[in-house]
Chains A and B, each alone.
Chain A
Amino acid sequence: MSLPLVMFLAFVVATLGITYWAAGRSSGESAYFAAGRRITGWQNGLAISGDYMSAASFLGIAGLIAFYGYDGFMYSVGFLVAYLTVLLLVAEPLRNTGKYTMADVLAYRLRARPVRAWASISTLTVSTFYMIAQMVGAGALVSLLLSDSGIGYAEAVTGVGILMIVYVVFGGMLATTWVQIVKAVLLMSGTFLLSTLVLAHFRFDLGALFDAAASVSFQSNGATVTQNFMEPGLYFKPPYGALDLISLGMALIFGTAGLPHILIRFYTVPDGKTARVSVFWAMLLIGAFYIMTTFLGFGAATIVGADTITANGGTNMSAPLLAQALAGDVFFAFISAVAFATILAVVAGLTISASTSFAHDFYSNVLHHGKERKPGEEVRVARWTAFVVGALSILIAIGLGPNANVAFLVGLAFAVAASANLPVIVFSLYWRRFTTRGAVWGLAAGLVSSVGLILVSPSFMGIDGPEVAEGARRMIQASTWYPLKNPGIVSIPLGFLAAYLGSIFSDEPSADAKYVELSVRANTGLGAEKAT
């Protein structure tokens, strides 16, 4: 048995232990959906970090920086600054007025059924897109990291899928939270160790690291190219690079505060103040992590080199290969296990957010008007949904195959969250005139426009040359209609506009009348759901 596999199994055993422990404490609605609302501020800060920092961040951004230098770091910036939107506008009022899902906040003043139905569709869309991207990535990556152990793509996807189903079905939010906390600790320590080793390699002289990054050489089309990785423009290129950057930035800054799997984390703490404190903790951790992506990326570019990384699995392998170059096989195995933990914590968060929204919003409130026919029905439906969501994800990821071009799905998830979810959350909390029609229009327009634009964007549509592998070809082989890879710059304003127009073109005295109650609840925490 290879060393990475041993470390993977150690993590699996530890998390199954957590799940066993949590399973005994997860009976009852608020225990299952919200971990009894007894997670503390720093614990939730860690869990938010664990929920948020995906393998796309850990391996993907490190790889982008290793191959394109500065432009990759632009992602890092957006991922942290986005939390200011969460902190200033969303976290506390959401905790104070909601129960289990983001739709709770909307349904407070508005007519519950249409609003919850649309919010649930949007939540499931965001979570599914994000999940498919994670699962395909997980399969490719785990099979690569465990290639010595003979584990292929399909086995890796199935393994990851089964684990996340077990965490969520049996351990609910409590197990998910602690898996995320363990992962965050592992990720932060792994990244810190790796960064320290990179700096030690340059004798703790930052200038020397930057000097090395300023002249990075690699092979391109048979010739040796030397580039300055401290300068922008190697990844985002004209004519649309600048607009694409702005569009991506908009999706990150406004989308994070609309990601359902992040929002439900705020229901796991006792009160609004703790929700706020947990965002602050999360910002410290997430910021520290994303600053360190520079060391990982530049380290991989200068110490390992793009040629070696390309020959050993491509961009995503930058960080693990860096670990191997700096400290050998044991450290490679550890960093691989960190990547594995990272994937599992994120997919577990996505599974529970999808199943909570389906059970609480769609099943209970849309289909059964908010009345449980039998006690415990909502939790039972959520457990089954988690199972179905997990099983479907496994099948879709296996069907797509390891070469499928799915990286754009993460960007799309942020774009839908920013265009559909954020406008209606912000309006329902802060705009008295907001109505049900505004919410439905906003959710629908944001969702349809971001997905529609992606379908006609270069991520999905375009003419591939004969050199592109069968599984990696784009779905529509025709010239692109929308030139950017990121729909946010168009779809976010559209989402806000539709929510605004829908409200202006309708009149809902009951929504207006309930604004006073919502405002007082949101700002004071009066009548908020208590810890159990």
Chain B
Amino acid sequence: MNHWDPIYQSPDYRRMIGQKTRAVVVMTVFFVVYYFALPVLVGYWPDLMSRRLWGNVTLAYAYAFSQFLMAWAIAYLYMRYADRFDRTTARILSDVSEAAQASQGGK
């Protein structure tokens, strides 16, 4: 009996993988769409993107700048999630190592 299967099958681990997958997929889809909207809009609707928002700041420039804020915001959000997953992981691992010590398993 290896010590991977019990972890993989444990409800805590399944739940964490579910949450993690959901978070990562949602964030990835969002940033990919948000990012590729930039070349698509700039490439195919240059007149729209050349519109001025305030002063000489064009929509194109403002949207490009917003990408930096978007990237930082998603990174921050992910770091928050990941800290939560770390705590779950630590709990799962300590449960497993107790079980393993009880049955004299792997390290």
Contacts and interface: CB of A to CB of B under 8 A. Distances in A.
A65 B39 CA distance: 16
B4 A84 contact: no
A232 B43 CA distance: 8
A520 B7 contact: yes
B4 A242 contact: no
B75 A231 contact: no
Given A84-B74, A273-B86, A74 B64 contact: yes
A245 B75 contact: no
B68 A287 contact: yes
B93 A524 contact: yes
Contacts of A210: 55-57, 61
A523 B20 contact: yes
- Give the most central of A242, A245, A524: most B CB within 10 Å: A524
Nearest to B75: A283
Interface residues of B, number: 49
A10 interface: no
Contacts of B89: 523-525
A152 interface: no
Contact of B56 (A88, A230, A521): A230
Interface in A89-123: 89, 92
Contact of B57 (A80, A230, A236): A230
Max chain A CB contacts within 10 Å: which of B4, B13, B79?
Answer: B4
B62 to A, nearest CB: 10
B92 A243 contact: no
B1 to A, nearest CB: 13
Contact of A73 (B5, B27, B61): B61
Nearest to B64: A77
Interface string A223-261: 000001011110010000111011011000100000000
Given A210-B56, A231-B60, A232-B50, A280 B75 contact: yes
Given A231-B50, A280-B75, A84 B64 contact: no
A276 B8 CA distance: 22
Interface string A440-458: 0000000000000000000
B102 interface: no
Contacts of A231: 46, 50, 58, 60
A520 B75 contact: no
B61 A230 contact: yes
Contacts of A253: 32, 35
B70 to A, nearest CB: 8
Contact of A283 (B8, B35, B71): B71
B24 interface: yes
A524 B75 contact: no
Contacts of B50: 228, 231-233
Q: Is the interface of B mostly helix, strand, loop or mixed?
A: helix
B66 to A, nearest CB: 10
A307 interface: no
A404 B50 CA distance: 35
Contact of B39 (A74, A80, A273, A523): A74
Nearest to B72: A287
Interface string A48-83: 000000000000000000000010011011101101
A284 interface: yes
Nearest to B39: A245
A287 B71 CA distance: 9
A519 B42 CA distance: 40
Contacts of A367: none
Interface string A507-532: 00000000011011101111000000
A153 interface: no
A210 B79 CA distance: 35
A176 to B, nearest CB: 25
Interface in B40-66: 40, 42-44, 46, 49-50, 55-58, 60-61, 64-65
A203 to B, nearest CB: 15
A92 B65 CA distance: 28
Contact of B8 (A85, A273, A279, A516): A516
A283 B44 CA distance: 29
A207 interface: yes
A372 interface: no
Contacts of A519: 8, 17
Most buried by B among A279, A291, A520, A523: A520
A290 interface: yes
Contacts of A213: 56
Interface string A132-167: 000000000000000000000000000000000000
A293 to B, nearest CB: 11
Contacts of B103: none
Contacts of B32: 253
A89 B82 CA distance: 12
Contacts of A228: 50, 56
A245 B43 contact: yes
B55 A88 contact: no
Contacts of B78: 87-88
Contacts of B68: 77, 80, 287, 290-291
Interface of B: 2, 4-5, 7-8, 13, 16-17, 20, 24, 27-28, 31-32, 35-36, 38-40, 42-44, 46, 49-50, 55-58, 60-61, 64-65, 67-68, 70-72, 74-76, 78-79, 82, 85-86, 89, 92-93
22 contacts: A70-B60, A70-B61, A81-B70, A84-B75, A89-B24, A207-B56, A210-B57, A232-B50, A232-B60, A233-B46, A233-B50, A241-B43, A242-B39, A249-B38, A273-B86, A284-B72, A287-B68, A287-B72, A516-B8, A519-B17, A520-B7, A526-B7
Given A287-B68, A524-B89, 8 more contacts: A84-B75, A88-B28, A210-B56, A210-B61, A232-B49, A232-B50, A249-B38, A523-B13
